[in-house]
Amino acid sequence: MDRPFEAEAHDFRAAAVAPILQPGPMFWPLALFLSLVVLAGAAAMFQQLVFGLGVTGLNNRVSWGFYISDMVFFIGLSYGGAVTSAILRLTNAPWRAPMVRIAEATALVTLLIGSLFPIIDLGRPDRMLNLLLHGQVGSPVLWDVVAVNTYMVATVIFLFLPLIPDMAFCRDHLGPAAGRVRRLLYDRLSLGWRGSPGEKNILERNMTVVAVVIIPLAVSVHSVLAWLFGMTVRPGWNSTMYAPYFVVGALFSGVAAVIVILAAFRKAYRLEAFITEQHFKYLANMLLALGMVYAYFLFAEVLTEGYKMEGMSLSEGSGPLLEEMLLGRYALLFWGFVAGGLAIPIALTSLPLTRHVPGIVTAATLVVVAMWLKRFLIVVPSMATPMMPVDWGAYWPSRVEIAITLAAAAAVPLLLMFFFRFFPIISIYEMEEIAEHEEPEAVPEPAGVAAW
Amino acid sequence: MAVSRRDLLKGLGGLAGLLFAGAVGVSRFPLTVTRGQTSRKKADRQWGMVVDLRRCDGCKECTGACQVTHYLSNDQEWIKVYEVETENGGTVFMPRLCMHCEEAPCLKVCPTAATFKNDQGLILIDQDICIGCRICMAACPYEARYFNWWDPPKPPGVFDNPMPEFPVPQQRGTVGKCVLCVHYTNKGRLPACVDACRMDAIYIADLTTGVMTNRSGETYQLRQYLQENDAFRYKEELNTSPRVWYVTGHGQSLDRKSQG
């Protein structure tokens, strides 16, 4: 069939492909603005390549700063896709259907951007291949390379598999309005999908396999990132619980990121009929649960260190660091994180008064920002802590580091915006499958638009 | 196009075998990396240092001499003199160089084996391989490593053949640190800091012969000297097994845990 797709306004298929056909009035101005931010970051990166890492605020005392914080942060955001898509698939939660495409795309985009930061941080990125040619299996950096790349492959496959029938749908129904490039894309990426029961069977089984595999992979990635710090003896980092701590933190920030991005695209493309307030409430439950687990980890860490207050005299143990974190030079940032990243979001998502879309999205936004701050508090104070009889080190990010960080933050929405100009924003295949096999409420009736 | 289960399993098994072979091939070194490049006879010396803190007066000639010898920029103090306040209100000076640990944390975490241990037990850095990830700097408990944030100063003349034993000029984007002047000791000369210390506070020690000496020729038997003077190693409880011993005498603890 080669005619343009015609359907009722409330059908999810129409909504899923609408951004492909018509981007909306704010698309190009926003894309231009975000592109300029990205370009500024690229210029800063160029400056760094020409002159060296001296253009950053890093120094011999604090030799890891913004870039490493950004690495942990952005890779952590990608866990939203793992949770909402993989775990909800394995637990047969039908309400995931309208969200999974956005969640999986967010996971891939944030992972791609996050995995650039270790390279940006390298003193000699031109020697990256040495990791393969001279790789040492005992090094956490090498574990990081292996884990992140394996997880990336799994994320791509996880996004791509349910995309195949959607590509077939676009191939069959979008017609000339989509343009030549897109039609070629749909033709190739649909891999000859015809929608037969045999094909669907294979697809379903493979998606289940990837959903199962991606969970230990995700756990491994942030565990390995944690061990970049945890395998050293620095105060604050020298903790045996760092790996699960980081994994929970990633899940927490990942779910928050999914909520924020979901809300943004829901508003921009008027998907309120399909992504309803109930979706946000379910996601808020997950955010609340993860937030409480993260708060528990934080409490356990502070209590254990505080009870022993090791090394109050000369730079050993975490005593001085804990004191500066809770009462001293980092207290403002630390308690800011506790309030804005834990206390307020937990309140907003649990109190009936604020458990609506604006309240939940506010909570999620606070969490995303606060979890960046927490990653900064993980990296920099432990590096500034004296390990020898000296004063505390100091670190202020330079314009280069700020520009690159902002560029990464801008690249996430930019890439997603362009992604949904080619691929359906709602997974048509999964909506149909879940409607067929599970409860009908998964595909909501177009009974009025939920207010934002 | 249907793939049978047998074919899939065979394919996965082949892939797993390939990945395993790749992993084995990639890691050509064991966890502790050793490379013998320096001496003609294998392991005829095992170098260490002894610093007599009773004598150090904080003049920092050692720092200067090292910087001159290796053409270092001012922010790189491969031997750095710390001022430590004692409990009774005095000041003690403590020169810190790379401890050349027997269980070096920097060695364990380096992803490319740019940091390696030579056959004299010294930790050296191959700046041709270093990718500048700086996890070694995060791992070192003694803050002994320095990064080349900018282009390093160029030595005058035509000398441009840096090697791990004499990393001059250094390379931008890589890590540098004290090499215990192995380029001198291989030729029978004292390290720059030992030679520059006008208080005769820094001794070089050879663990194989058990002898230590300073620039004035004061020579002792290492084990006996260490025992008699109640020498200790800094942050020993971190299990790094450093090769630098300190002798105190002002009654300060310098954070030593249980001493006799």
This complex has an ipTM of 0.88
Q: Using the CB atoms, write b or e for B93-102: b if 16+ within 10 Å.
A: bbbbbbbbbb
Q: Give how far B98 is from chain A: nearest CA, Å.
A: 13
DSSP line for A46-109: HHHHHH-GGGSS--SSS---HHHHHHHHHHHHTHHHIIIIIIHHHTT-GGGTTTHHHHHHHHHH
B258 touches chain A (CB under 8 A): no
Contact B149 A58 (CB under 8 A): yes
Interface list for B 7-46 with A (CB within 8 A): 23, 26-29, 31, 33
Contact call for A125 and B105, based on CB within 8 A: no
Structure tokens at A294: 């993260």
8 Å CB contact between A171 and A186: yes
CA distance A330 to chain B (A): 20
Residue B28, in any domain of the structure: no
Instruction: Give the nearest partner residue to A389 out of B94, B150, B175, using CB atoms.
Output: B94
* In-domain check, residue B23: no
Instruction: Please list, in sequence order, all residues whose beta carbon lies within 8 angstroms of the beta carbon of residue A209, skipping any fewer than 6 positions away.
Output: none
pLDDT at B43: 64
> Is residue B90 over pLDDT 90?
no
Residue B36 has what pLDDT? 43
**pLDDT of res. B87:** 74
3-class DSSP state for residue A370? helix
Verify whether the Cβ–Cβ distance A137 to B23 is below 8 Å.
yes
**Element containing residue B247 per DSSP (H, E):** strand B244-247
Distance, CA of B230 to CA of B259 (rounded, Å): 9
Q: Flag whether B27 is in a domain.
A: no
Residue A316: predicted pLDDT: 62
Give the one of A122, A135, A137 whose C-beta lies nearest to B133's C-beta.
Answer: A122
Nearest-by-Cβ selection for B142 from A64, A121, A388: A388
Measured between beta carbons, which residues in chain A are less than 8 angstroms from residue B242? none
Q: In terms of C-beta density within 10 A (0-12 exposed, 13-18 middle, 19 or more buried), how is residue A17 classed? A: buried
Query: Cα distance from A117 to chain B (closest Cα, Å)?
Result: 11
In a domain? residue B1: no
Quote the minimal CA–CA distance from A260 to chain B in Å.
Answer: 33
pLDDT beneath 70: ranges in chain A: 1-10, 311-316, 438-452
Judging contacts by C-beta atoms under 8 Å, the chain A residues touching residue B150 are: 51-52, 54
A-B Cβ pairs (cutoff 8 Å, strict): 154
Calpha distance B14→A254 (Å, rounded)? 35
AA identity, residue B119:
D
The alpha carbon of residue A411 and the mean position of all alpha carbons in its chain are separated, in whole angstroms, by 12
Judged by CB atoms closer than 8 Å, whether chains meet at B112 and A135 is answered as yes
Are A141 and B111 a contacting pair at CB < 8 A?
yes
pLDDT at A282: 95
Query: Tell me, what's the pLDDT at B252?
Result: 53
Identify the domain containing residue B246 by its residue range.
6-18+33-259
- Nearest Cβ partner of B131 from A131, A138, A198? A131
CA–CA distance, A202 with A161 (Å, rounded to integer):
10
Q: Considering only the beta carbons, identify the residue of B110, B139, B173 that sits closest to A53.
A: B173
Q: Would you call A131 and B111 a contact, using CB atoms and an 8 Å cutoff?
A: yes
B196 burial via Cβ count (<10 Å: 0-12, 13-18, 19+): buried
pLDDT at A57: 96
The answer to whether the Cα torsion of A197, A201, A202, A207 is positive or negative is positive
Position B19 scores a pLDDT of: 81
Q: Which candidate from B76, B96, B111 shows the least CB-CB separation from A139?
A: B111
Would the CB atoms of A118 and B109 count as touching at under 8 Å?
no
Among A133, A142, A387, select the one facing B142 at the smallest CB separation.
A387
> How do residues B202-252 score in pLDDT, each as one tens digit?
999 999 999 999 999 999 999 999 999 999 999 998 999 999 999 987 555
Q: What share of chain B is helix, strand, coil (3-state, %, to 5)?
A: 25, 20, 60
B103 and chain A: CB distance < 8 Å anywhere? no
Q: With an 8 Å Cβ cutoff, is B78 touching chain A?
A: no
**pLDDT score, position B29:** 45
The reported pTM is 0.89
Q: Is residue B25 part of a domain?
A: no
Closest CB to B105 among A53, A233, A313: A233
Query: Would B46 be classed as within a structural domain?
Result: yes
pLDDT value for A322: 92
B96 inside 8 A of chain A by CB: yes
Residue B193: inside a domain: yes
Q: Per the structure, how many domains does chain B have?
A: 1
B259 pLDDT above the threshold of 50: no
pLDDT 10s digits, B34-79: 454 444 455 679 999 999 999 999 999 999 999 999 999 999 999 9
> What count of residues does chain A have?
452
| Cα gap A24→A26, rounded to integer Å | 6
B99, pLDDT greater than 90: yes
Amino acid present at A326:
L
Would you call A388 and B82 a contact, using CB atoms and an 8 Å cutoff?
A: yes
Between the CA of residue A67 and those of A332, A401, A412, what are the distances in Å? 22, 7, 16
Q: First-to-last CA distance in chain B?
A: 77
The pLDDT > 70 percentage for chain B reads 86
Residues on chain A touching B235 (C-beta within 8 angstroms) = 316
CATH classification at residue B103: 3.30.70.20
DSSP H helices in A161-196: 163-173, 180-189
* Predicted pLDDT of residue B27: 56
Which ranges of B110-149 would DSSP assign to H, the alpha helix? 135-139
Average pLDDT rounded to a whole number, residues B94-116: 96
Q: Does B82 touch chain A (CB under 8 A)?
A: yes
Is B143 in contact with A388 (Cβ distance < 8 A)? Answer: yes
Q: Is B92 domain-assigned? A: yes
Report the residue of B101, B103, B149 to disrupt the A interface, i.e. the one with the largest count of A CBs within 10 Å: B149
